[in-house]
């Protein structure tokens, strides 16, 4: 048994793939990864930008859509929907074999709607109804405006991947939105799922930059520690939130916990171990969504051990030390959220431009 399978079978963590492209579907490569132990897939506008701009796999469908008079934005969603549906079909057996725990594929709403609650709700509702698969996750960013949209969509029975979480305070808002949404649902809850996606390595990149600017020995000694500590504290908050009478009343109606998902788990600093953000965040009821290089590295030499809740008080002490050194964690999360949304909007806009140029060339 390989490490990907052991990660779930021995420690309850689901390895998902943080990438999707049509060539992997048509070549059978994605099925090979599923057979190896990949239990889900996430996508975002940046992932589709690389897939559609860097290959000709989409040209035939794009040409047909352009010939039929479809707009470039409509064509984008047609291209995305086909990839998502094909991936959903490949993962449907995993979804069924796990009783609905895994086998999900995530697609993100238009990132330009991050500050538009009503627009986000309408987009999420449209994607959910158009694709209409039980193993679909619609991704909604955890912005202040996204939180009420998450609650509404959970209340309507949609399964939601809450993305771009960078702070513990916002994470508590996300969990409350999920629980309140389930309470508003009013029926059987067994078909509604959610994950809450913490972006891990981006947090270290920003905090390390600020620690290095401070330059004190105390500050420099904290590099590479804050993101893992934040994830470990988040897991402690998760265990507390999904317990007690309020939660048990929902469990009686079929509710599932909203699993923490560790995203952005490739190491950006080459001085750090390439499996740092996998080895240190392993535990039950969690997901780690891995870029292919990190997936291969972990499967080859990752450390299999329950680590996510080994020392929650130590994790809190690390975050306290980071703040004591002079780092404003609230400002870090604000900057990262703005950058995260901005990156996805930029990728989305650039991809539409690229598809427009491709459509003209194909015509």
pLDDT digits (tens, 9 = 90+) for 148-203: 999 999 999 999 999 999 999 999 999 999 999 999 998 999 999 999 999 999 99
- Give per-residue pLDDT as tens, 278-335: 999 999 999 999 999 999 999 999 999 999 999 999 999 999 999 999 999 999 999 9
pLDDT, position 13 = 98
**Which residue in the block uniquely carries the two structure tokens 């590295």?**
297
- Label residue 49 exposed, middle or buried (CB < 10 Å: 0-12, 13-18, 19+): buried
CA torsion angle for 145, 225, 276, 22 (degrees, to 10)?
20
- Label residue 127 exposed, middle or buried (CB < 10 Å: 0-12, 13-18, 19+): buried
pLDDT, position 119 = 98
Fold adopted by 3-202+225-308+337-362: TIM Barrel (3.20.20)
The percentage of the chain sitting over the pLDDT mark of 90, rounded to a whole number, equals 93
SS3 162: strand
pLDDT, position 362 = 84
- Pairing of β 40-41 and β 286-290: unpaired
**Cβ-count burial 198-235 (b if 16+ within 10 Å, e if not):** bbbbbbbbbbbebbeeeeeeebeebbbbbbbbbbbbbb
- Give per-residue pLDDT as tens, 22-73: 999 999 999 999 999 999 999 998 899 889 988 899 999 999 999 999 999 9
Catalytic, 139? Answer yes
pLDDT, position 303 = 95
d(CA 124, CA 186): 20
User: Domain spans of the chain?
Assistant: 3-202+225-308+337-362
pLDDT, position 302 = 96
What pTM was computed for the model?
Answer: 0.96
Rg over alpha carbons for the chain, rounded to the nearest Å, is: 20
How high does pLDDT run on average in the chain?
96
Tokens of 283: 């535990």
- Of 347, 344, 346, 363, which Cα lies nearest the Cα of 59? 363
User: Within a 10 A sphere around the Cβ of 67, how many other Cβ atoms?
Assistant: 11
- Tell me the average pLDDT across 329-355: 94
pLDDT, position 1 = 52
Phi, psi (5° rounding) for residue 135? -105, 25
- Give per-residue pLDDT as tens, 39-48: 999 999 889 9
- Of 205, 232, 254, 189, which Cα lies nearest the Cα of 318? 232
Q: How many CA atoms lie within 13 A of 357 on its CB side?
A: 7
Catalytic residue among 6, 139, 346, 358, which?
139
């Amino acid at each position: 048994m390989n490490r990907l399978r052991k990660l779930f079978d021995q420690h309850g963590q689901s390895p998902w793939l943080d990438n999707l492209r049509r060539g992997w579907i048509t070549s059978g490569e994605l099925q090979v990864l599923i057979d190896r132990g990949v239990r889900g897939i996430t996508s975002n506008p940046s992932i589709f930008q690389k897939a559609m701009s860097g290959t000709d796999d989409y040209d035939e469908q794009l040409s047909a859509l352009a010939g039929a008079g479809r707009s470039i934005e409509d064509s984008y969603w047609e291209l995305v929907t086909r990839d998502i549906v094909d991936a959903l079909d490949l993962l449907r057996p995993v979804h069924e074999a796990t009783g609905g725990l895994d086998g999900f594929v995530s697609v993100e709403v238009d990132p330009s709607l991050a500050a538009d609650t009503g627009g986000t709700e309408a987009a999420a509702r449209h994607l959910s109804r158009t694709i209409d698969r039980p193993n679909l996750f619609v991704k909604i960013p955890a912005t202040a405006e996204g939180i009420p949209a998450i609650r509404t969509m959970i209340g309507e029975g949609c399964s939601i991947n809450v993305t771009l979480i960078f702070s513990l305070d916002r994470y508590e808002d996300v969990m409350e939105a999920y629980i309140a949404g389930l309470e508003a649902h009013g029926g059987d809850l067994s078909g509604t799922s959610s994950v809450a996606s913490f972006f891990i390595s981006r947090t270290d990149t920003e905090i390390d930059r600020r620690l290095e600017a401070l330059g004190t020995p105390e500050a420099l000694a904290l590099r590479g520690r804050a993101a893992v500590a934040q994830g470990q504290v988040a897991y402690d908050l998760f265990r507390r939130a999904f317990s007690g009478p309020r939660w048990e009343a929902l469990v009686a109606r079929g509710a599932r916990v909203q699993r923490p998902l560790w995203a952005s788990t490739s190491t950006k600093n080459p001085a750090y171990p390439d499996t740092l953000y996998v080895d240190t965040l392993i535990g039950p009821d969690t997901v780690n969504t891995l870029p292919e290089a990190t997936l291969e590295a972990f499967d080859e030499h990752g450390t299999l051990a329950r680590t996510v809740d080994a020392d929650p008080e130590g994790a809190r002490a690390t975050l306290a030390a980071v703040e004591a050194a002079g780092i404003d964690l609230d400002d870090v999360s604000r900057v990262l959220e703005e950058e995260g949304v901005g990156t996805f909007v930029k990728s989305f806009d650039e991809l539409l431009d690229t598809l427009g140029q491709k459509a003209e060339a194909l015509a």
